[in-house]
Amino acid sequence: MGNREFAALLYEAADLMELQGIDWKPQAYRKAARAIESLERDISDILKQSGRKELQEIPGVGEGIASHIEEFLRSGRVKKFDEVRKSLPPGIGELLELEGLGPKKAALLLKKLRVRGLADLKKALGAGKLRSLEGFGEKSEENLRKALELHERGKERMLLGEALPLAEELLDYLRPHAERLDYAGSLRRMQETIGDIDILAQSGRPSGVMEAFIAFPRVERVLAHGATKSSVLLREGIQVDLRVIPAGSYGAALQYFTGSKEHNVALRAIAAKRGLRLSEYGLFKGEKLLAGRSEEEVYRKLGFPLIPAEMREDRGELAGTKPPELVELRDMRGDLHAHTTFSDGISAVEEMALAAKSKGYEYLAITDHSQAERIARGLSEERLEEQWKELSRVEKRVGIRLLRGAEISIQNDGSLDYPERVLKKLEVTVCSIHSGFKMPKEKMTERILAALDNKYCDILGHPTGRLLNRRAPYEADMQRVFEEAVEERKILELDGHPERLDLSDAHALAARKLGAKFSLSTDSHAAAHLGYMRFAVGQARRGWLTKGDVVNALHLKGLRKVFPRMRD
DNA sequence: GCCGTTTTCGGCCCGACTGTTTTCAGTCG
């Protein structure tokens, strides 16, 4: 533990130093913070097991930051950061969270108007003091007022599951005005949450796309409106940037705006080493354009195959080895986690079966809640048997294999919420934690390990229990959980429900390295939710999973070897 | 503060847009 906390300290220190006019160091801090944040291993483990030298293996971490990490892990604080904090008013960092206000202007506000935080800024705005400052005018006052308002409304990152449909709607709307349209950025990389939506267009009449864009019915405010770039804020609270790109640079621009920033920095460094220059306009040797029309061409000229967008995180995808053949949505043969009206779902068994069938699936596991989940109308033994009759009936009618399954709660002591005589009749079980989230880490870890050791546990459901933007994962030693799962040949779920995406991409990556197998599921509570599979696949691809890592990419025959209680 | 077949010192992405200012600084992505 501690990676996120330490990264947060680095970010804070970077902001404050920038306010003080310190050059470069803030960038270095942020770079290190990003690396530490996305690390699979805990910095405390690294220090304990391998020592300080190993900390410096983290990209962007050198002697200085390594010693700060050591101090932080030892004492929970970093003296140097404390000093920086003390040298500035406590509320000053908040100012930088405002749209359009950066370190230079914030420093000026502090120096000339003694603005020490958001409250001060509000007062200064009210008194009309800002326009007297050099570099400020009426317009900047107005913008700050709006930024302040927006900030107060609270701004969380939007879930992938909300942003993607929104972007698709906008693309459909813009299609008549452009020859080519793509969304780029974190959305294209299928990151679990999205800061803003980036859209690229190629058009013979750029002004036409721009006019249409700012007239999109969901637009609340136009933030910028130029010849090649415009930005709007949608009513849903997310910013959308649109850029119009000429055909000859379209691929380079798509590459550039897809990111990630870290991936691009690494790729540009590789280009630079070869005496080339990569920008959103193309790959250049001197003035000569070598590539730009397509992404593939850009990567090829740099000696790489087309790297899937989901892998572009500078996690080793540019190391030169051939990237793995990532799992695709069309590889999926079934879904192993779905609820029906028997428990807390809103679609009947038959509706679920029909929806699964229409996706071309061979099978669907019906996994309603176990008896203890009263709120979710968990199934008693009798109701479960009733359900099995229904499954047999629908199975014949619809022509899709319905597995007798259950999502079984893992109780506080690690036992499963059905007696053995029931468990052995279930073809597949998803075992999940639904209560007792606040256990100490050691106890929680033991609880999960005990469940994994149960011979009737097949799949560990939403393994960390997190809800994006709402609930932190429970404390558990996930590395040990993954090791045990591999040892006991248990399957890890990658739950594609937009609020869960659990396992996360980083966890999937770590577990895959240990040789784990995965179930990409939707945790559907309605027939339409079966469509969440694309989010599960997106996270799986971010975790470098191949078709071979995913059990429900297997045909029925292969699946039987994974789940021995499955009937013929 | 980090990093290195350009460098152990001197770089560190760079272009679009905005607002305020008559040629540019600040912010953002």
Which residue reads 């400052």 in tokens?
A133
pLDDT of residue A412: 92
Please report, for residues A64, A407, A418, A487, the alpha-carbon distance to residue A456 in angstroms, rounded to integers and kept in the order given.
50, 12, 10, 15
- Distance, CA of A212 to C1' of B22, in Å: 34
Tokens (6 digits) for A35: 């690396």
pLDDT score recorded for residue A353: 97
> A416 with A517, same domain?
yes
Global pTM reads 0.78
| Closest C-alpha to A187, from A172, A201, A202, A200 | A200
Residue A96, token pair as written in the block:
């930088």
Pair (A287, A376) in one structural domain: no
Considering A154, A181, A206, which residue would you say is the last residue of a domain? Answer: A154
Q: How far apart are CA A137 and CA A295, in angstroms?
A: 42
Q: What is the pLDDT of residue A356?
A: 97
Note the pLDDT of residue A456. Answer: 96
For the cut 70, the answer to whether the pLDDT of residue A40 exceeds it is yes
Q: Is A546 part of any domain? A: yes
Domain boundary among A244, A270, A287: A244
Q: How far is A287 from A306, CA to CA, in rounded Å?
A: 24
Cα separation of A481 and A442, whole Å? 11
A269 and A195 together in one domain: no
Protein CA at A133 to nucleotide C1' at B24, angstroms: 17
Residue A212 is assigned to a structural domain of this protein: yes
Domain membership flag for residue A517: yes
Give me the pLDDT at residue A484, please: 97
Q: Which residue is nearest to nucleotide B29 (CA to C1')?
A: A257
**Predicted local distance difference test score (pLDDT) of residue A543:** 95
Instruction: List CB contacts of A314: < 8 A, sequence separation 6 or more.
Output: A59, A260, A262, A263, A265, A266
One domain, residues A145 and A164:
no
| Cβ of residue A82 lies below 7 Å from strand B | no
The model's pLDDT over A352-376, given as tens digits with 9 standing for 90+, comes to: 999 999 999 999 999 999 998 877 7
pLDDT band at A1, cuts 50/70/90?
Answer: low
- Which percentage of chain A shows pLDDT scores above 90? 57
Kindly state whether residue A464 falls inside one of the protein's structural domains. yes
* The pLDDT of residue A152 is above 80: no
Q: Looking at A129, A154, A179, which one is the last position of a domain?
A: A154
Cβ of A273 near strand B (distance < 7 A): yes
Helix or strand run (H / E) with residue A148: helix A138-152
Given a cut of 80, is residue A93 above it in pLDDT? Answer: yes
Nucleotide nearest A277 (Cα, C1'): B13
Query: Smallest Cα–Cα separation from A430: which of A497, A514, A383, A358?
Result: A497
The backbone torsions φ and ψ at residue A405, rounded to the nearest 5 degrees and listed phi first, read -130, 180
Nucleotides in chain B with any atom closer than 7 Å to protein CB: 1-3, 5-6, 11-21, 25-29
A226 CB less than 7 Å from any atom of strand B: yes
Å separating the CA of residue A263 from the C1' of nucleotide B27: 23
A159-216 pLDDT, tens digit each: 999 999 999 999 999 999 999 999 999 999 999 999 899 999 999 888 999 999 999 9
Q: Residue A27's pLDDT is what?
A: 85
Domain membership flag for residue A100: yes
A79 touches strand B (CB under 7 A): no
Q: How confident is the model at residue A154 (pLDDT cuts 50, 70, 90)?
A: low
Give the residue-averaged pLDDT of A30-48.
Answer: 82
Mean pLDDT across chain A: 91
Cβ A365 vs Cβ A565: under 8 Å: no
Instruction: Say if residues A290 and A274 touch (Cβ distance below 8 Å).
Output: no
Rounded to an integer, the average pLDDT of A400-421 is 95
CA–C1' nearest nucleotide, residue A135:
B20
**Two tokens at A365?**
């596991």
Q: Give the pLDDT band (50/70/90) at residue A92.
A: confident
Task: List, edge to edge, every strand of the sheet that includes A277-279.
Answer: A277-279, A282-285, A288-291
Question: How far is A213 from A231, CA to CA, in rounded Å?
Answer: 9
Q: Is the CB of A227 under 7 A from strand B?
A: yes
**Alpha-carbon gap, residue A294 to A284, rounded angstroms:** 14
- Spatial contact of A61 and A19, defined as CB atoms under 8 Å apart: no
Q: Would you say the C-beta of A61 is within 7 Å of strand B? A: yes
Checking if the pLDDT of A12 tops 90, the result is: no
CB atoms within 10 A of CB A564: 9
* In the predicted structure, residue A310 carries a pLDDT above the cut 90: yes
Q: Are A473 and A534 part of one and the same domain? A: yes
A 414-443: CB within 7 Å of strand B: none
Q: How far apart are CA A237 and CA A215, in angstroms?
A: 16
Measure CA to C1' and name the residue nearest B14: A279
Q: Establish whether the CB of A358 is closer than 7 Å to any nucleic acid atom in strand B.
A: no
Give, in Å, how far the C1' of B28 lies from the CA of A40: 30
* The pLDDT of residue A204: 86
Answer yes or no: is pLDDT of A546 > 90: yes
- Please report, for the domain that includes residue A503, its CATH number: 3.20.20.140
> Do A236 and A253 share a domain, yes or no?
no
CATH number of residue A281's parent domain: 3.30.210.10
A32 touches strand B (CB under 7 A): yes
Spacing of A504 CA from B13 C1' in Å: 30
Closest residue by C-alpha to C1' distance, nucleotide B28: A100
Q: Is residue A568 part of a domain?
A: no
Question: A495 and A502 in contact (C-beta within 8 Å)?
Answer: yes
User: pLDDT at position A134, please?
Assistant: 83
Summarize pLDDT for A50-74 with one digit per residue, the tens.
Answer: 888 888 988 889 999 999 999 999 9
- CATH number of the domain to which A221 belongs: 3.30.460.10
Q: Are residues A393 and A521 in the same domain?
A: yes
Any strand B atom closer than 7 Å to A314 CB: no
Instruction: Determine, yes or no, domain membership for A551.
Output: yes
Do residues A258 and A236 both lie within one domain? no
Nearest nucleotide by C1' position to the A67 CA atom? B1
- pLDDT confidence of residue A155: 61
Instruction: Name the nucleotide with the smallest C1'–CA separation from A198.
Output: B29
pLDDT by residue (tens digit) across A341-352? 999 888 999 999
- Full domain range(s) for residue A416: 329-562
Highest mean pLDDT out of A5-9, A148-152, A227-231: A227-231
How many domains does the structure of chain A reveal? 4
Instruction: Give the angle subtended at the CA of A145 by the CAs of A210 and A196, to the nearest 5°.
Output: 40
pLDDT of residue A139: 85
pLDDT at A531: 96
Average pLDDT over residues A226-241: 89
Q: Give residue-wise pLDDT tens across range A439-492.
A: 888 899 999 999 999 999 999 999 999 888 767 788 899 999 999 999 999 999
Query: Residues A288, A350: one domain?
Result: no
Which runs of E-coded beta strand occur in A257-395? Answer: 277-279, 282-285, 288-291, 334-335, 363-369
Q: Does a structural domain hold residue A323?
A: no
Q: What is the pLDDT of residue A79?
A: 92
pLDDT tops 70 at residue A145? yes
In a shared domain, residues A344 and A454: yes
Q: Are residues A306 and A182 in the same domain?
A: no
CA of A140 to C1' of B20 (A): 10
Measured CA A207 to C1' B22 distance, in angstroms: 28
Q: Are A237 and A255 members of one domain?
A: no
